[in-house]
Amino acid sequence: GNSVTQMEGPVTLSEEAFLTINCTYTATGYPSLFWYVQYPGEGLQLLLKATKADDKGSNKGFEATYRKETTSFHLEKGSVQVSDSAVYFCARENDYKLSFGAGTTVTVRA
């Protein structure tokens, strides 16, 4: 099926550390790819997206590049802050709907 696999958490980091969250998708066609973020006690909100191969989405210091050859869309941030503590979800377009990964909980310690 049209699925998304992302690295399991939880991930715990110190402030200013480098963050990578791996995400791969099943390669049926060329779906648009998304990262959503869920801060504690809130609903999800779009962090960034990429709609075609080699596109790079970026927002709030986060980046992810659509890699067709490896069917991946890994999320990266060079220097995390305590305020980045959240659950991050990778998602792919699926017939005009979204299919989500399981989510990765990230905790950043001061």
Partner 1 sequence: NAGVTQTPKFRVLKTGQSMTLLCAQDMNHEYMYWYRQDPGMGLRLIHYSVGEGTTAKGEVPDGYNVSRLKKQNFLLGLESAAPSQTSVYFCASSYVPAPYNEQFFGPGTRLTVL
- Which residues of the chain form contacts with partner 1 (CB under 8 A)? 4, 31-32, 34, 41-46, 49, 51, 89, 93-94, 96-98, 100-103
Which residue, 16 or 56, is less far from partner 1 as judged by CB? 56
Which residue, 32 or 72, is less far from partner 1 as judged by CB? 32
For residue 10, cis peptide bond before it (omega within 30 degrees of 0):
yes
Report in angstroms how near the CB of residue 14 gets to partner 1 at its nearest: 26
Report in angstroms how near the CB of residue 67 gets to partner 1 at its nearest: 17
Q: Are 40 and 85 in contact (CB under 8 A)?
A: yes
Sign of the Cα torsion 76, 77, 78, 80 reads negative
Q: How far is Cα 13 from Cα 105, in angstroms, rounded to an integer?
A: 11
Report in angstroms how near the CB of residue 110 gets to partner 1 at its nearest: 27
Amino acid residing at 12: T
φ and ψ at 82, to 5 degrees?
-55, -35
Which residue, 17 or 38, is less far from partner 1 as judged by CB? 38
Which residue, 51 or 81, is less far from partner 1 as judged by CB? 51
Amino acid residing at 97: K
